[in-house]
Structure formats: structure tokens, C-alpha cells
Amino acid sequence: MPLLVMKFGGTSVADLARIKNAALKVKREVERGYDVIVIVSAMSGKTNELVGWVEQTSPLYDAREYDAVVSSGENVTAGLMALTLQEMDVPARSWQGWQVPINTTSAHASARFKSIPSDNINAKFAEGFKVAVVAGFQGVSPEGRITTLGRGGSDTTAVAFAAAFNAERCDIYTDVDGIYTTDPRITDKARKLDKIAFEEMLELASLGAKVLQTRSVELAMRFKVRLRVLSSFEETDENSGTLVCDEDEIMESKVVSGVAYSRDEAKITLVTVADRPGIAAAIFGPLSEAGVNVDMIVQNISEKADGGAVTDMTFSCPVNQVARACKAMEDAKAAGSINFVELNVDSDVAKISVVGIGMRSHAGVAATMFKALSAENVNIKVISTSEIKISVLIDRKYMELAVQALHDAFELDKAG
Ligand code: ASP
Ligand code: MG
């Protein structure tokens, strides 16, 4: 029997009417001849409420009990979804993580999968059950305690099941109808993509296109799970939404597939540090220990000043980590491990990136990008590139303008 994984996020199961709507979509796939594994999130807002209750009860809570409480939101939805399907004469039952079992590490609140044996669920399919409704986001540790995967983890549960059961596809039902060339709130020219490669999605997911948990895309890429993102609030068929797939499945792609942005960035420059072996380690070691997520790094060409070689070191990080980053640098200076003349902070920058697997084989993307920004008089502060991405830091007030200009420059409103 062909098998599908269908995942419904929090807004798709927010109340009983929506659970019924989701169940109808499941029933349709059963009628098409599929066995279905349904992965459900907690009803929207539920996980936040549970986290709040834990924090109010015990500020320095025991992470094992946090997981026991916070995983329960998914249990409720799984049971309700199974009941709803039964009411529609679809043979279904619910599965909590330990019943499958979904074996994970014991890193509570951020557990990782170890194995998902398929025997128990397959035995039920063999008995005539058509749907297994599995609570997302949770698992069981080697010690037999309940674990959770980290916020947004149900996407990753869905992909892991698709891999473990060799599903034909993993459909992620959500409150948007697919992946767009850029944020439709910034330009109405944003276009829904039919297909996007895993690697491109990974760049877009980590850049803040919040549709899929980044880990789920990493897992899908590793196991070549075809992922489809589609709306649970619209009539959908096999061509709806956006397919996230291997690049071999994408015949002709444009050089650039999307423009991503990250609004709340900051740029920090250490002016005039000694240029000697170990200086980068002396700067970025303490930043990493302080939990600062450094993104772009630029080191100037050394110049000789006062007889010794000096350089400027610039990096970017999320704006809410600036205080932590500055303290780590001041502390390192006080301890004598680094020296700088000034610490310049610019907290009003945004990062804009153009992403596309086509860049591997096409020259000129950077030139087009820089020309488009220059035509709008947008100054570029930092540039970084990778094989399939070019990112720039610019003043935050020009962010929308820059996204629109780049979307036009790469003609992303027109299909491939
Ligand atoms: N309910 C969990 C959360 O809100 C997991 C998920 O929905 O993916 O983070
Ligand atoms: Mg989610």
C-alpha cells in the first residue's frame, strides 16, 4: 500500500471545526488508496500556555517535567483527530511517542531522534487500520522519560516518519499556501514557487521564512524526503502548494529563486586589533562562549601602524545579542587577550540575501545585485557569499526597498 505522511500545524487544528476540516483531507487521501500517517501539532497557542504554566510553577524547572507537561498538547490533538476520523468511518487510532516508540536522546526540550521502528504501526495497518495519528514534537528517552524536540519540532517528526516509513511524500499543511519568492507582505509581486530545492529551502528557512523548522529541511535533504507545503484552509489537490525536493527534480530553475531578509541584525566592529596568529580565535572564542550567534565576518587587510600590524574585525549578530557581545569583548580586553581602540556598534542594519542553486553555474549574480542596490542609492556595508547565496548588510530603513528592487532585478515575478 502506498503511504503518505500528512502533518497539520497548530493553526490547522486550532479548534474542533478545523480538526474536522483536516480530517476530511486525510479521508480523501485514504479514498485515493493511501495508508496515512498523520502528525499533529498542539492546538495553536496551547504549547505557549503549557510552557507558561511550567515557568510559573517552577522558575528553575526540572526539564523532564517540562517535557511531560509541554508534550501533552499534541496528545490532545492526536486523540481528537483519531476520534474525528472514526466518526467519518475511517479506521484510525492515535499514537503517543512512547507507543510507537519514537526513540530519542535524553536531551530534554531539544531531543534528537535515535530510531523510529515501524513494526507496531505497520502491524496495525496490516490489521486494517488506515490512519495512524501520531503526536508530533515528542519522543521517549533511553531512560523511558518523555522528551520533546524543541519548538516547531512537529515538522521534524513528520519528515522523520516519512523517512522511516518510506513515504511517497510528506505533506505539511499550514496557514500559508506555499513557499514564495519573497515575503508577500513586502511586495505583491511575490510569486508562489511550484518547486524549490532542499538547499535553497534550507537557506530560506534559516533566513527567517518561518514556514518549516530548519531541522526538518536538513533531515528531508539527508533522506531525500519529498516535502510539500500547502494550505489547510483551501481546496487542495496533488498540484497544490510548493514541493521541496532534490534539485534533480527541478528541470529548469532560474538563477535566483528567492530574496530573503532578516530585519533585526547588528554590525559590530573592533577597530585596530593586533594582527597576529590567534587573534580571530581570541575574539570569536569568547563570543561563542557567551552564546552570541555570529553570522557574517569580515577582516580587513592588515596595515602597519606604529610599527606593528593591525586590522579591523567586523561581524554581525542578532540585534538582541549586542549587549552580550560587547560585554564579552570588553571582558576579553580587560583580561588582556585582545586589544582594540574602539568598539563600533551599528544596531540599525538588516540582512538581504539572494538565493539560488543556479548561481553555481552562472556568473554575474553579484554584479546584478549590487547594480540594483546602487540604482536605489542603497549603501552596502558588508558582503558575504556562498555557493548558492549572496548576502549584504544595509541600513534597516531601506530593507523593504532593497527586497523590492532585487525581486524586480531578478524578475522573480515571472515563472522560470
Ligand atoms: N507544538 C509545538 C510548538 O508549538 C511543536 C509544533 O507545533 O511543531 O512548538
Ligand atoms: Mg510550525
**pLDDT tens digit string along 85-104?**
999 999 999 999 999 999 99
Using the mean position of ligand 2's atoms as its centre, give its distance from the Cα of residue 344 in Å.
37
Q: Which atom of ligand 1 is nearest to the CA of 42?
A: 1
Per-residue pLDDT at 109 exceeds 90: yes
- Which cell numbers hold the place of 191? 510569486
**What does the pLDDT read at residue 209?**
62
Per-residue pLDDT at 255 exceeds 80: yes
Pocket test for ligand 1, best of 49, 154, 174, 229 (most atoms within 8 A of CB): 154
Helix (H) or strand (E) holding 373: helix 365-375
Ligand nearest to the CA of 40: 1
Per-residue pLDDT at 313 exceeds 90: yes
**What does the pLDDT read at residue 2?**
95
Ligand nearest to the CA of 157: 1
Q: What is the rounded average pLDDT of the residues 12-23? A: 98
**Residue located nearest, by CA, to atom 5 of ligand 1:** 152
- Nearest Cα to Cα of residue 117 among 94, 133, 144, 139: 139
Per-residue pLDDT at 306 exceeds 80: no
**What does the pLDDT read at residue 208?**
60
**What does the pLDDT read at residue 205?**
74
Distance CA 12, CA 355 (A): 29
Ligand nearest to the CA of 153: 1
- Which cell numbers hold the place of 218? 536538513
Using the mean position of ligand 2's atoms as its centre, give its distance from the Cα of residue 184 in Å.
19
**Residue located nearest, by CA, to atom 7 of ligand 1:** 41
Per-residue pLDDT at 416 exceeds 90: no
Using the mean position of ligand 1's atoms as its centre, give its distance from the Cα of residue 108 in Å.
15
- Nearest Cα to Cα of residue 312 among 340, 278, 348: 340
Q: Which residues contact 89 (CB under 8 A, 6 or more apart)?
A: none
**What does the pLDDT read at residue 238?**
82
Task: Give the pocket of ligand 1 (CB within 6 Å).
Answer: 9-10, 41-42, 47, 73, 136-137, 151-155
Per-residue pLDDT at 411 exceeds 70: yes
Pocket test for ligand 1, best of 47, 147, 161 (most atoms within 8 A of CB): 47
233-to-134, 192, 271, 380 alpha-carbon distances in Å: 21, 16, 53, 40
Using the mean position of ligand 2's atoms as its centre, give its distance from the Cα of residue 155 in Å.
6
Q: What is the rounded average pLDDT of the residues 310-334? A: 96
Q: What is the rounded average pLDDT of the residues 58-76? A: 97
What mean pLDDT is reported for the chain?
95
CA angle 14, 167, 105 (to 5 degrees): 70
Q: What is the rounded average pLDDT of the residues 145-151? A: 97
Lowest mean pLDDT among 44-58, 138-152, 195-209: 195-209
Using the mean position of ligand 2's atoms as its centre, give its distance from the Cα of residue 414 in Å.
29
Q: What is the rounded average pLDDT of the residues 368-386? A: 96
Q: Which residues contact 42 (CB under 8 A, 6 or more apart)?
A: 10, 13, 50, 73, 74, 76, 77, 137
Pocket test for ligand 1, best of 134, 137, 219 (most atoms within 8 A of CB): 137
Ligand nearest to the CA of 74: 1
Per-residue pLDDT at 400 exceeds 90: yes
Per-residue pLDDT at 308 exceeds 80: no
Task: Tell me the pLDDT band of 261, cut-offs 50, 70 and 90.
Answer: very high
Using the mean position of ligand 1's atoms as its centre, give its distance from the Cα of residue 44 in Å.
8
Using the mean position of ligand 1's atoms as its centre, give its distance from the Cα of residue 154 in Å.
6
pTM greater than the 0.85 cutoff: yes
Q: What is the rounded average pLDDT of the residues 64-76? A: 98
**Residue located nearest, by CA, to atom 6 of ligand 1:** 152
Task: Tell me the pLDDT band of 304, cut-offs 50, 70 and 90.
Answer: confident
What's the pLDDT tens digit per position in 243-254?
999 999 987 778
Task: Tell me the pLDDT band of 204, cut-offs 50, 70 and 90.
Answer: confident
Specify which residues 245 forms β-bridges with: 197
Q: Which of helix, strand or coil describes residue 192?
A: strand
Using the mean position of ligand 2's atoms as its centre, give its distance from the Cα of residue 252 in Å.
30
Distance CA 241, CA 230 (A): 4
Q: What is the rounded average pLDDT of the residues 191-208? A: 87
Per-residue pLDDT at 274 exceeds 80: yes
Per-residue pLDDT at 161 exceeds 90: yes
* Distance of alpha carbon 18 from the chain centroid: 25
